[in-house]
Amino acid sequence: MHSMNRRKISGVVAAALVLSACSGGAPEGGDTGNQVRGEANTVNAGTAKQGGTITYVLERNILDWNPLGADIGVATQLVADVYDPGAFTTLPDLKTIELNKDLLVSAEQTGTSPQTLVYKINPKAVWNDGTPITVADFDYVWRASNPKACPKCEPASTMGYDGISSLVGTDDGRTVTVTFDKPFGDWKSLFGPILPAHVAKKLGDDGTPEGLAKSFNDGFRYKDSFPDWSGGPYIFKSWTTNQAATLVPNPKWWGKPATLDSLVFRVITDTTQEVPALQNNEVQIINPDPQVDLLRNVQALGDVKYQLVSGLRKQMILPNLNNPAMQDPALRKALYTAFDVNQTIGKTVGQFSSDAKPLRNRIYVPQQPEYKDNLGTLGTGDVEKAKKILTDAGYKVDGGKLVDPKGAPVPALTMRYIQNNQILQTVCQLFSDTAKQLGVTIDVQTTDSIGATVTHQAGKDFDLFAMGWIGQTFVASQYSQAFMTKAGLNFGGYSSPVVDDLLTKALGATDESKAAEYLNGVDAQLTEDAYILPLYQVPDLLAYKANLVNVRANGTYYGPPYNGGEWGIAG
Amino acid sequence: MVAYVLRRLLHTIPIVLVGSFITFVMVSASGDPLGDLKAKQPPVSQAILDAEAHRMRLDQPVLERYWHWLTGILSGDWGPSVKKIDIGAEIWPRLLVSVRLVVLAVLLALLLALVIGVVSAVKRYSAVDYLFTFVGFLLLSMPAFWFAILLKQQAINVNQATGTTLVYTVGDASIPPPTGFWPTVLDVLGHIVLPTIVLAMTSFAPWSRFVRSSMIEVQQSDYVRLARAKGLKRRTVLVRHALRTALVPLTTVVALDLAVLFSGAVITETVFQWRGMGSFLLTSVRDKDIYAVMAWLLLVSVIVVFFNLVADLLYAVLDRRIRLG
């Protein structure tokens, strides 16, 4: 099984199962006067004056600084945005994958047979010690992410890198030509970010696989320390674990100069403490999971602006096909058809986000041009249709209990959600109420460990799971892991030769429209098999002091710091 | 006295051993420490899972694991962490953070409890007593997190009214830190004032009730009446005779509360985002970090034993009738 490239799947890395901690509550009606709306990629653009400090809240501590490592958490990436350059970035509109013009002059696919990429590095691009950014840095990432070159390296993903047959530098290493022996459609996800090869040497990379593994697994992890290098607008000044990272402008940065004196990433692990800290000006940007009360508090702040956008985080209901009770597609289809997603939204996220709408595609979101409604009757709340599906499949209702075609009563199903998530608790309760109309009993329970619950090892103790999912723009790579037979993200144990074939084609498709066609075919087949019911995009809240410019929501894995180098205080 | 202390310490060894073994077994059975790693995406290889299980000693029977842990502790090795942190290096600074948070609060709470408890007892059933009783029960019944949030909001209002950030709501210092001596002092004070008040108020309330009830009881005792009958000054009777005796039961309560506070004022640390023992426990439990949880439990059990011993020794100081031997 292939692993996925970090950028493609990194949204799922560690955070794949992150569930929103939203709470139900009072209906919408807060003052939205300070809500910022506008074009996703340019909203809140402005000119910054020189100086000042901005503090951005991280909701998790950082234990591993390697942005390509298997242990990466979301917080690692948020900080890496401002010091570690990558080839491409996904913009807030969720559809534009933009070339990093500071790092690269161009990155193009110059051939398809064999697939060939040519990266032309910006001649001005240097690391903070003046060492030019060259093919060596690309080569290091390839070697560390390729199991053939480094079997003991622990990258978050090897996908794409394992299909590269050669990586050659020319023009003094400023042009990198990559050739594949296996086509890779999501090639823009590669080399995001790169790592400094000359630093890797200091960290143990002596050219041997062992040295490479040492530098990658341990060196770039910076246990009890922090990266002392930068190829971005900021460079580390200090890091105190559980407290904060302070970065200052990188003196060797060749791009548009950063205006701030310092940029602080402060760890605040209790969401409810973020708004008071913002109000007291101890922090200037927060990106918490929205809740009714929290949003109302933000709305009441006079000197704060906020954005509430729909990002790539989704909620869904996952069936566990490893359990016999859920193996009949007819039962799954009936349960999903009877469930009214629109009504559910009204009782959950719709209470604070009027933009929340049913998500009718498992792979794409409405902001992406490839999005189309593939769900058919699923999620429509058509109980009569659901009953007919069951009747046609041979089910009967006896004494209010559903009986399967063989005459055995359908057992009570266990539906789980992560504890303390009131939104998902409501979703589960509504789902249970709906199922009761079909004669199916659903026992709603919590779990304190999503990982332990959905893990591929023994002990899957759920039939249905209401869970969150961070989507990516590199969808072929991500969803091949979710839907391919026995793939890593395939928590429900789904298997379909049709889907496997379509995903294989999508992965190798160098034509983006063709890949989208295959993937929508996958989604349609999943509907046919009634595997996974998508619910809605989780609203993404970003609140910040009103005097900040160029700060904007980015509902992708890159998060708001995707343009942290441009952040500043209005001049 | 020294023999008594040594004997008491020797008695605690089997208690700590049995307690640590029971908790080790219970913590080990509380979940799969590798659960999150197993769900890591892309999935980690079985070889890595096996290596992690070996590193975490999960491939050993629980008795063997306990033995390794116990012998490791004696050589300063707190055991492997799921999150690959150095538990020993992590826990001591956290204990210091908790101590820093607790000491001022305890001193303030003790002072208030003594003054208010004595005044309430002396002015029993007066308006002052009723007022202090009301305040005491109000603070007793008020959830700490709610009180902390109210206090935070008031502090923010004060800051906004003055146009200066005098008081801070998160952490124990500003980042980046201010430069200069006085700005640094003010910054530290600005960060410590709110959690200190919260901790002090929540501790002061029950302590003041103890002092009051003890003082009332002691005031009615024969020896106090005798002291009064002998014509001793009221202040002398109160302080030298009554209060001294009344402090004995308070000593027990404070000693046990101190052990709890040093082990982590979980709510206060969470609300004010201090990285002390309480947040260490929360994080360790969430991560199912067996050895980190055990480190916390071991340290806390030692602290409890220590403060119990301190309480016993203080008895002898406060009440000459008690002889330790």
How buried is A512 (Cβ within 10 angstroms: 0-12 exposed, 13-18 middle, 19+ buried)? middle
> 3-class DSSP state for residue B199?
helix
Quote the CA–CA distance of A114 and A182 in Å, as a whole number.
8
**Confidence (pLDDT) at A25:** 35
Chain B positions touching A4 (Cβ under 8 A) are: 41-42
Beta-carbon pairs below 8 A across chains A and B: 123
Contact by Cβ (8 Å): A277, A155: no
A247 touches chain B (CB under 8 A): no
Which residues on adjacent β-strands are paired with residue A267? A58
Sign for the pseudo-dihedral over CA of A290, A293, A299, A301: negative
Quote the CA–CA distance of B115 and A272 in Å, as a whole number.
36
Quote the CA–CA distance of A507 and A172 in Å, as a whole number.
33
**Confidence (pLDDT) at A9:** 36
Quote the CA–CA distance of A524 and A362 in Å, as a whole number.
9
Quote the CA–CA distance of A538 and A315 in Å, as a whole number.
7
Quote the CA–CA distance of B272 and A22 in Å, as a whole number.
22
- Chain A residue with the nearest C-alpha to that of B272: A273
- For residue B194, give the amino acid letter: L
Phi and psi at A7, nearest 5°, equal -65, -30
Q: Which residue has the tokens 């990558």?
A: A86
Phi and psi at A308, nearest 5°, equal -125, 105
CA triple A250-A138-A262, angle to 5 deg: 15
Give chain B's contact residues with A (Cβ, < 8 Å).
Answer: 31-32, 35-44, 48, 83-86, 89, 149, 152-153, 155-156, 159, 165, 168-171, 174-176, 270-273, 275, 279, 283, 286, 288
> What DSSP assignment string belongs to A218-281?
IITTTTTS-----SSSEEEEEEETTTEEEEEE-TT--SSPP--SEEEEEE---GGGHHHHHHTT
Q: Which residue has the tokens 């023994």?
A: A458
A17 touches chain B (CB under 8 A): yes
Instruction: Look up the ipTM and state it.
Output: 0.83
Quote the CA–CA distance of A180 and A183 in Å, as a whole number.
6
**Confidence (pLDDT) at A453:** 65
**Confidence (pLDDT) at A21:** 31
pTM of the model: 0.87
Token pair for A500: 């496997």
Q: Which residue has the tokens 């999508």?
A: A506
Tell me which residues of chain A have a pLDDT lower than 70: 1-31, 448-460
Candidates B34, B36, B41, B81: best to mutate against A (most CBs of A within 10 A) is B41
User: Do the Cβ atoms of A13 and B41 come within 8 Å?
Assistant: yes
**Confidence (pLDDT) at B322:** 66
- Cα of A469 to nearest chain B Cα, Å: 12
User: Do the Cβ atoms of A224 and B270 come within 8 Å?
Assistant: no
In 3D space, the residue among A219, A362, A220, A351 whose CA is nearest the CA of residue A294 turns out to be A351
> 3-class DSSP state for residue A177?
strand
Spatial neighbors of A547 by CB under 8 A, at least 6 apart, are: A303, A569, A570
Longest distance between any two alpha carbons in chain A, whole Å = 79
How buried is A329 (Cβ within 10 angstroms: 0-12 exposed, 13-18 middle, 19+ buried)? middle
**Confidence (pLDDT) at B242:** 84
Block means of pLDDT (10 residues each) for chain B, 325 residues, are: 81 87 89 74 68 89 94 91 89 90 91 92 92 90 89 94 92 90 94 93 89 89 87 84 82 82 80 90 88 92 85 76 62
Token pair for A368: 């992406």
Rg of the Cα atoms in chain B? 24
- Chain A residue with the nearest C-alpha to that of B160: A280
Quote the CA–CA distance of A464 and A467 in Å, as a whole number.
9
In 3D space, the residue among B108, B100, B282, B278 whose CA is nearest the CA of residue B191 turns out to be B100
**Confidence (pLDDT) at A12:** 35
A66 touches chain B (CB under 8 A): no
Quote the CA–CA distance of A184 and A160 in Å, as a whole number.
6
Helix, strand, coil: what percent of chain A each, to 5?
30, 25, 50
Could you list the beta-strand ranges (E) of A5-146. Answer: 48-49, 53-58, 88-90, 97-99, 104-112, 115-121
A452 touches chain B (CB under 8 A): yes
User: Do the Cβ atoms of A489 and B41 come within 8 Å?
Assistant: yes
How buried is A24 (Cβ within 10 angstroms: 0-12 exposed, 13-18 middle, 19+ buried)? middle
Q: Cβ of A120: how many Cβ atoms within 10 Å?
A: 16
- Chain-centre distance for alpha carbon A1: 21
HSE toward the beta carbon, residue A371, CA cutoff 13 A:
15
A12 touches chain B (CB under 8 A): yes
When CB atoms are compared, the residue of A70, A277, A449 closest to B35 is: A449
When CB atoms are compared, the residue of A1, A242, A282 closest to B168 is: A282
Candidates A262, A455, A477: best to mutate against B (most CBs of B within 10 A) is A455
Buried b (16+ CB within 10 A) or exposed e, A479-507: bbbbbbeebbbbbbbbbbeebbebbebbb
Which phi-psi region, left, alpha or beta, contains residue A127 (left: φ > 0; alpha: ψ -120 to 50)? beta
A10 touches chain B (CB under 8 A): no
A419 touches chain B (CB under 8 A): no
**Confidence (pLDDT) at A501:** 97
Chain A positions touching B86 (Cβ under 8 A) are: 224
